[in-house]
């Protein structure tokens, strides 16, 4: 059950998890198919139940930069559907035949009227994850910087 | 009035802005003083009313990496107080004599019981800002990559 292991749904109650499950639907996607492309309007986000989705950014028609491979355990793609301006910043393609749980942005917006606390918890979890990613990026910068200093000093 | 220009408080109603103002207090800090240090527990976040605060990361006692200079117009420092694990990831020091509006994390947590919608809007604004920063970082990566490819190709 992917709900309980996804960072986005931490600290939600069992009824809240059930309510979320009720607005999701299953979707299959074959290896090599595109789930979404960068700059498209972000209408959905996806939990990966089975398989693998690769996130990448396209430099030009010949060059792709891989960003990450998202797998079932904590697998979530399409978080741009959760925050304005609701536009995917990466492209997503199935690296294997995969089964996804799809959530529509409009359903989540309806849920916000019904249970604002639920959406508040989700947004806090998302902010936490994003802040952690920024910290990792800065940590990498720091390591590169230290290596640079050492290579100049020694 | 810094409330209305800060990204964190966008989309809040006038009564919600007034409620937030009621839990803030003013604090003055002199040029060169530290506001907080990285890895400290994040108990407060700050709006810059007047002056400038520099965010930086410390590599060792001799080396500091500047991250950004935060100024009154959209100025906010200490967002780690808003998200678990509530730990500052950067250090903050006054670049000029400054006047700040201080918010305590505990007061915001109390507000969450009183008006969950208010905190939900703040967390959505924060997630939006963090996602935008991650996009900028990726955009830079893309530009560096393209320059690298060009330097190899031509």
Report ipTM (2 d.p.): 0.77
Q: Per the CB < 8 Å rule, is B130 touching A131?
A: yes
- Residue for token pair 């955009």: B139
Query: B115 contacts in A (CB within 8 Å)?
Result: none
Q: What is the mean pLDDT of residues B88-93?
A: 93
The pLDDT, as a whole number, for residue A2 is 53
Q: Cα distance from A128 to chain B (closest Cα, Å)?
A: 5
pLDDT of residue B116: 80
Contacts of B121 (CB under 8 A, 6+ apart): B10, B11, B12, B16
A84 vs B: CB within 8 A: yes
Chain A CB within 8 Å of residue B123 CB: yes
Any chain B CB within 8 A of the CB of A128?
Answer: yes
* DSSP string of A17-30, one letter each residue: HHHHHHTEEEEEE-
Q: What is the pLDDT of residues B131-142, one digit of tens each?
A: 888 887 777 766
Residue A74 has pLDDT above 70, yes or no: no
Both tokens of residue B57? 């990361």
- How far is the C-alpha of B78 from the C-alpha of B99, rounded, in Å? 15
Kindly state the helix (H) or strand (E) to which residue A122 belongs, with its residue range. helix A116-153
Instruction: Find the mean pLDDT for residues B46-68.
Output: 88
Q: What is the pLDDT of residue B53?
A: 96
Confidence of residue B74 (pLDDT cuts 50, 70, 90): low
Residue A135: C-alpha distances to residues A44, B69, B76, B89 (Å): 27, 17, 17, 7
Residue holding tokens 């003083």?
B33
A141 pLDDT band, cuts 50/70/90, is low
Q: Does B134 touch chain A (CB under 8 A)?
A: yes
What is the share, in percent, of chain A residues with pLDDT greater than 70? 88
Q: Given an 8 Å threshold on Cβ–Cβ distance, is A67 in contact with B123?
A: no
Q: Is the pLDDT reported for residue B64 higher than 90?
A: no
Percent of chain A with pLDDT over 90: 53
pLDDT digits (tens, 9 = 90+) for A8-67: 999 999 999 999 999 999 999 999 999 999 999 999 999 999 999 999 988 777 788 888
Average pLDDT score, chain A: 87
Q: Which residue has the higher pLDDT, B70 or A154?
A: B70
A148 interface with B at CB cutoff 8 Å: no
Task: Name the closest residue on chain A to residue B126, using Cα atoms.
Answer: A127
Which residues on chain B are in Cβ contact (under 8 Å) with A57? Answer: 138, 141-142
Average pLDDT over residues B25-37: 96
Q: What pTM did the predictor assign?
A: 0.82
Question: What confidence category does residue A119 fall into, taking pLDDT thresholds of 50, 70 and 90?
Answer: confident
Comparing CB atoms, the residue among B84, B123, B134 nearest residue A123 is: B123
Rounded CA separation B94/B27 (Å)? 12
Q: pLDDT at position A3, please?
A: 66
Q: Per-residue confidence at A116, pLDDT binned at 50, 70, 90?
A: confident
Instruction: Give the orientation angle of helix B105-114 with respect to helix B116-153, to 10 degrees.
Output: 120
Cα A127 to Cα A134: distance, rounded to the nearest angstrom: 11
Of the candidates A120, A116, A98, A110, the residue with the CA atom closest to the CA atom of residue A50: A98
* CB nearest A89 (choices: B127, B135, B149): B135
Q: What is each CA distance from A94 to A28, A48, A84, A86, in whole angstroms?
A: 10, 10, 25, 21
Give the pLDDT score at B6.
87
Q: Where are the beta strands (DSSP E) in B38-141?
A: 44-50, 53-60, 63-70, 76-77, 91-94, 98-104
Contact A83 B137 (CB under 8 A): no
Which of A101, A89, A94, A86 lies closest to A70, judged by CA?
A94
Find the radius of gyration of the CA atoms of chain A. Answer: 18
Gyration radius of chain B's alpha carbons = 18
Q: Quote the minimal CA–CA distance from B124 to chain A in Å.
A: 6
Please tell me which of the candidates A67, A83, A141 has its beta carbon nearest to residue B127.
A83
Report the share of chain B in percent with pLDDT over 70.
88
Within its chain, how far is the Cα of B28 from the centroid? 18
Residue closest to B104 by CA, chosen among B46, B152, B32: B46
Q: Which value, to the nearest 10 degrees, does the dihedral of the CA atoms of residues B1, B74, A82, A118 take?
A: -50
CA distance A119 to chain B (A): 7
């Amino acid at each position: 059950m992917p709900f309980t292991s996804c960072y986005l749904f931490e600290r939600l109650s069992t009824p809240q998890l059930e309510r979320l499950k009720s607005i999701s639907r299953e979707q299959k996607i074959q290896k090599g198919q595109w789930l979404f492309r960068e700059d498209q309007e972000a209408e959905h986000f996806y939990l990966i139940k089975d398989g693998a989705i690769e996130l990448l950014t396209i430099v030009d028609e010949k060059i792709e930069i891989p960003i990450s491979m998202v797998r079932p355990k904590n697998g979530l793609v399409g978080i741009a559907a959760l925050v304005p301006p609701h536009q995917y910043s990466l492209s997503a393609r199935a690296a294997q035949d995969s089964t996804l749980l799809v959530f529509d942005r409009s359903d989540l917006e309806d849920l916000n009227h019904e249970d604002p606390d639920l959406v508040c918890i989700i947004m806090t979890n998302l902010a936490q994850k994003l802040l952690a990613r920024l910290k990792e990026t800065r940590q990498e910068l720091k390591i590169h910087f230290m290596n640079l200093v050492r290579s100049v000093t020694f």
